Amino acid sequence: MADAFTTFGDDALGDLDTVGLIEALASGGVSPTELRDASLARANAARVPLNAVVTMVDDPAIASGPFNGIPTFVKDNEDIAGLPTSHGSRATSRNPKTVTSAFAEQYQRLGFTVLGKSTLPEFGLTATTEPLATGPTRNPWNPDHSSGGSSGGSASLVAAGVVPIAHANDGGGSIRIPAACCGLVGLKPSRGRLISAPELERMPVAIAVQGVVTRTVRDTAAFYREIERLHPTLAPIGNVVGPGRQRLRIAVVDEGMAGLPVDPEVQATVRHTADLCSDLGHDVEFIPFPFDEQFGRDFLRYWAGVAFAIQVGGKQAFDPEFDKTKLEPFTYELSGLFKHIAVRMPAALRRLRAFPATYAAAFVDFDVMLSPVLSHPAPEIGYLGAEADPHDHLVRLLRYASFTAIHNVSGAPAISLPIGESASGLPIGVQAAAPYGHEANLLELAYELESAAHMSTTAPTRSWFGAPSGS
């Protein structure tokens, strides 16, 4: 097994999380310039071992806002003026963008110091970050393994200590999957909670949302507290600073959709989490997977349709110089699949659009649903890589990541929490989901589980189940 890699050290960042660094800034213990320079040094140290950075900002500006001076990265599918946006693909040009996206503009208004762009798989179409455009991004816990996807670069950078928080987005699990792979907290918010690109809102089923990955619950809660003030469309989450008093009705699912197998270590971690919840006084009940395999078939058809739209409409959607001949084999595999099943898309779309009601019905008797994030821990580099046989890639992906897309289609929130560890030392995440608009319940429960799992509040760099050893 490869040694873990970390950049944590005795510099201005230390081992503090975002909230800890804000407190240090307020006390005068560190300056924004010191934080930026320390993070840049860490990013340079991680460039080769992790391969999580696409491009760096030449002279990162220190902005003002509630996160004034906190260094971060933005995933490379969000436009920032002066930087190219590759979408993890060789098919796009490397011409700098002239306009910053609405979300990236809001993100910068929070005061983050944006150091650069983080890696992702081609157009975020798979659950690992190993595009041909940049090569594989590696997991700090074991660089021989995947960091997850599609926000794999951001997760790798946060887990290794390069930055305490990084931008991520999620169209089928892309916040929660890399969080689970890298031992982080990853909240996919309710649809509409944060601003989204107009083109994503115009999709037949709007599934993609913005967010972040962090090392602590309080960092995630602080981010949503501040950014929702810039986009107050839903009932506010508010300032969640600890466990809630309400005891929750919690459903537990420890088996996959349609009998898909779940790794015994993952299953044991979910059951351990259920035991923790029961010990905390919550009402826990194990239930079968509440959604049928028709959902899986319909989402696959929709996902294939996204790939087809990229292939035929890339010039209009992404880049006038888009070259479809440079797309990866897996993208062509998905696009080709769509051509065979396009006749079934109208019915699939009707069912997907009706799914939020189906999802809500499953929560009539429950407040929260616990499940795996993934069916097994992070696989080795290459298992889902761009050079894998595309058909095998698809089969493996469907078995690996079947627990996350339901929340994208429903629009409801879900969070990945680093509860467990495999025998080989890889993180195992557990997913907690709630009805639409109920992020506060998830954060309050996450605080409880964080405490119950004995995470050190004085050393937030430590995962709830341990910490990567030095590099």
Catalytic residues, by residue number, are 75, 150, 174
Give whole-number Cα distances, 200 to 41, 106, 415, in Å: 35, 17, 22
Task: Determine the Cα–Cα distance for residues 440 and 115; give it in Å rounded to an integer.
Answer: 30
Token pair of 241 as six digits: 């600073």
Q: Are strands 71-75 and 113-118 parallel, antiparallel or unpaired?
A: parallel
Residue pair 132/99 in contact (Cβ under 8 Å)? The answer is no
Give kind and range of the element (H or E) at residue 217.
helix 217-227
Task: Determine the Cα–Cα distance for residues 460 and 466; give it in Å rounded to an integer.
Answer: 11
Q: Are strands 368-372 and 249-252 parallel, antiparallel or unpaired?
A: parallel
Q: What is the identity of the amino acid at 125?
A: L
Task: Determine the Cα–Cα distance for residues 266 and 430; give it in Å rounded to an integer.
Answer: 8
Give whole-number Cα distances, 90 to 121, 175, 357, 358, 467, in Å: 11, 23, 39, 39, 35
Residue 3 is given by DSSP the state P
Using the Cα atoms of residue 156, residue 271, residue 127 and residue 138 in order, give the sign of their dihedral: positive
Reference 157, options 171, 178, 173; nearest CA is 178
Give kind and range of the element (H or E) at residue 211.
strand 209-214
